[in-house]
Amino acid sequence: MDKLTKKLIQRFKTNDPFVIAKGLNINVKFESFHDGTRGLYYRVLRRRFIVIHEGLDDTWKRFICAHELGHDRLHNGLNRFWLDEHSFFTPGKFEREATEFAVLLLSKGTQISDCTTIYEAALNAGIPVEFAHYLEKFVSCSNMERSEYDGILS
């Protein structure tokens, strides 16, 4: 997955998921959902779509775009409709993979290696704090304590 994100960044000369999605001919749309849906990814014949909840802030929109891009790149063979809502936070294998993809993509090209905490690293990379723990695999911060935030992430 590390290779995959590196290759995409080299190819498109950016880690901006919106630019990459466009470059891959994926249609990105914004819609207003009222049921907790944050984003979804689907294919119709050979056209691919990412739909992002327009009520999210920019950090979340970017993150969702990167996550749906993960479904496109990783779960190609699975002809499924990916719907990301509350279940996001108790994810199964495929959701974890898509989120890991997003975290890797967004953290590349960002100075996160000398951060004090993974939360600072997530902030610098534009990753919602809810997913900061995914960074534990990729960065080493001087203070890896999580307790400070554990309370707000339940």
The site for Zn ion (CB under 5 A) is made up of: 82, 84, 95, 98
**C-alpha–C-alpha distance, residues 18 and 11, integer Å:** 14
* Residue 87 vs 111, nearer CB to Zn ion: 87
CB of 90 to Zn ion, least distance (A): 12
Tell me 141's DSSP state.
-
**C-alpha–C-alpha distance, residues 64 and 17, integer Å:** 9
CB of 71 to Zn ion, least distance (A): 6
Tell me 35's DSSP state.
S
**C-alpha–C-alpha distance, residues 27 and 81, integer Å:** 15
CB of 147 to Zn ion, least distance (A): 28
In the complex, which residue's CB is closest to Zn ion? Answer: 84
* Residue 41 vs 119, nearer CB to Zn ion: 41
Contact assessment for residue 126 and residue 108, using Cβ atoms and an 8 Å cutoff: no
* Residue 16 vs 95, nearer CB to Zn ion: 95
